[in-house]
Structure 1
Amino acid sequence: MSWKVTFRIYYEDTDAGGVVYYANYLRFLERARTEALRALGFEQARMLQENRIAFAVRSLSVDYLKPARLDDLVEVSSAVRELGRAQVVFQQQIVRAGEMLLDAQVRVASIDPVRGKAVAMPKEIREKFKTLMGTPA
């Protein structure tokens, strides 16, 4: 199963040529992961306050395949590829009208933001992440 969210490409997302600036794709991926977490019933501000955990990107690999352009409607899908005690690996894709524009693998660590150290995810979060196991469609 994967989580999907749709975004419109705005002028602020593009360079002078009307093509999405490469770093802005990472913002789309982050927003999609945040919305997936929210859809599973977890808000980051509440997790920080109640569980004293945050998620931080540890590493990522991105293949930029084709450019998105001003006014495009793109769909970002997020699926969990690996799930550990304190980290999760997402496979994320950005697609426009069935055409893949970007394929990324993002390793995210569960951390105690005060100490800056990795900590185990609460069991309920891990269990919900299991529902996203699979491949983006």
Structure 2
Amino acid sequence: MHIFRVRVYYEDTDMAGIVYHANYLKFIERARSDWVKQQGLDQNEMREKDGIVFVVRRIEADYLATAKYDDLLEIRTLTKSMTGVRLVMTQEVCRGEEVLFRAEVTAVCVTTDGHPTRLPLKLRRHVH
């Protein structure tokens, strides 16, 4: 399991002082980017050298409770499954042990001109 921490700033909140719903997607994106880097992959190098990028194919999300200004959140990312072309991850945004948001994210790789391609071998070897 990969853990990424983020503090809620004023800009993350709405008029009610709670985290705006779209910002949970930003939080989990940051955590996935950090996870990819931790796997030894450089996304800039992937794009420039190999001509491939990760894209989100699908997100199923549940908003369970609210986060507020100055909360310290922990984004927990767990690989659920992987094929040659698809990576499915479960991500939870937690305050302490309380799960505030949960998402299942399906990501794939595409060439820079938009055609599907296999996930990097380095990732497939490392995760399995």
TM-score by length of 2: 0.96
Aligned match of 1:36: 35
Aligned match of 1:135: none
Task: Give unmatched runs, 5+ long, in structure 2.
Answer: none
Aligned match of 1:134: none
Q: Which runs of 4+ in 1 moved over 2 A?
A: none
Aligned match of 2:47: 48
Percent identity over the alignment is: 34
Aligned match of 1:15: 14
Amino acid across the alignment from 1:118: P
In the alignment, the residues of structure 2 paired with residue 125 and residue 33 of structure 1 have an alpha-carbon distance, to the nearest angstrom, of: 13
Aligned match of 1:117: 115
SS state of the match for residue 18, structure 1?
A: coil
Q: Deviations over 1:86-135 (max 9, x none)?
A: 11001000100111101110000111122x111011211211233xxxxx
Aligned match of 2:106: 107
* TM-align CA RMSD: 0.9
For residues 16-95 of structure 1, what are the structure 2 equivalents within 5 Å? 16-95=15-94
Q: Deviations over 1:5-33 (max 9, x none)?
A: 10000011110111000001000010000
SS state of the match for residue 31, structure 2?
A: helix
Amino acid across the alignment from 1:74: L
In the alignment, the residues of structure 2 paired with residue 87 and residue 51 of structure 1 have an alpha-carbon distance, to the nearest angstrom, of: 18
SS state of the match for residue 128, structure 1?
A: helix
| Residue-pair matches, total | 128
